[in-house]
Amino acid sequence: MNKVMKLMLIAMVMIAFSAGITLAKTELVIVSWGGAYTASQQKAYHDPYMKLHPDIQIINDDSAGSGAAKLRAQVEAGNVTWDLLDALASDAIALCDEGLIEEIDHDKMLAAAPDGTPASKDFGDLIASPCFIPEIVYSIAFAYRKDKFDTPPTTLADVFDLKKFPGKRALEKKPVANLEWALIADGVDPAKVYDVLGTPEGIDRAFKKLGTIKDSVIWWSKGAQPPQLLADGEVTIASAYNGRHFNAIVAEKQPIEMLWDWQHLDLDGWVVPKGAPHKKEIMEYLKFATDTQRLADQAKFISYGPARISSAPLVGKHAEFGIDMKPHMPTAPENMKHVILKDHVWWGDHEVELTERFNAWLTK
């Protein structure tokens, strides 16, 4: 009898011990876009943070592509398993409106710039929603096949000029960016694009201009498609997230060249789900991961611009290819001559309606 008791005691101690091991590490589930993007966050944020805090284990989840829908399902079911979600500014606004993510006090919760500038000033206008912590500035920009043209295209109007610059185009299967581009290419004052787009005539005009190249467009829906279409020679000019173009040009050495004219700037950043299981720990993490140096570090691994003003001068060389990353940033002065800043509030109102119309227009 004594022997059995002893065995049971040992077993119980062992169970308690193994439970103790798993308890020692807090697991934070961070949801992002996967691929090169998550890798850049791993190297710039997660790895250094876990080194500083050995009790934290960061788990990557690559489902940010359907993050808004999945988060909504989790919150509605009352079973939130995510601690942090990487989201586009437009999704952050929608999720914040729906009350699915936490509001952030940027100055209180985030680190100030090295010179003491409070976070809210350092991020400036990029705080698109009270729930949003900006991380990077990215753009949807054009790139073209160098070897297919004798004189390279230099302006947005050239993208719409099929005669001078023959070949197919690849555009995103969304109204966002395409409608703005169509209007600017049609001669609308770039400063008034959203005013014009707010009128029924303006929308008609944008669709009409897009219609001039519609038969020569391959519409993409996944970020990996356009660089592939360019590399295969299926299209001669393609819009894509600038980081994807960068990868094709620098890492894969494809004969592709950027065409930054009227790049469409957008934001990506962090949002904290309501009911996140480790809120205290994740806020600790965010304070670290969104400070000036960390944001600048991410640009070593991927060509997206850090969202803090104070990070810009710290952007250095690419960790693997050793090239200076500054000219590859969408926020570099020479790339910023002509830019469209996405009007998130305007698109928040009109995206559903225009997507419906856009899809109907596509099937015609």
Instruction: Using CB under 8 A, list all residues that contact other proteins.
Output: 65-66, 68-69, 72, 94, 96-99, 103, 168, 218-219, 221-222, 225, 232-234, 345, 348-357, 359-363
Residue entry with tokens 């009352």: 78
Measured between alpha carbons, how far is 364 from 356 in angstroms, rounded to an integer? 13
Q: Which is nearer to other proteins, 51 or 364 (CB)?
A: 364
Q: Please report how close the Cβ of residue 83 comes to other proteins at its closest, in angstroms.
A: 21
Q: Which is nearer to other proteins, 55 or 349 (CB)?
A: 349
Q: Please report how close the Cβ of residue 279 comes to other proteins at its closest, in angstroms.
A: 17
217 strand-pairing partners:
169
Residue-wise DSSP of 221-243: -STTHHHHHHHHTS-SEEEEEHH
Q: Please report how close the Cβ of residue 43 comes to other proteins at its closest, in angstroms.
A: 26
Q: Which is nearer to other proteins, 68 or 184 (CB)?
A: 68
Measured at the alpha carbon of residue 12, what is the angle toward residues 11 and 15, in degrees to the nearest 5?
Answer: 85
Which residue, among 153, 106, 141, has the nearest Cα to 269 in the 3D structure?
106
**Do the beta carbons of residue 243 and residue 35 sit within 8 Å?**
no
Q: Please report how close the Cβ of residue 203 comes to other proteins at its closest, in angstroms.
A: 9
**Do the beta carbons of residue 103 and residue 131 sit within 8 Å?**
yes
Q: Please report how close the Cβ of residue 324 comes to other proteins at its closest, in angstroms.
A: 33
Residue entry with tokens 């002893």: 6
Residue entry with tokens 């001559």: 337
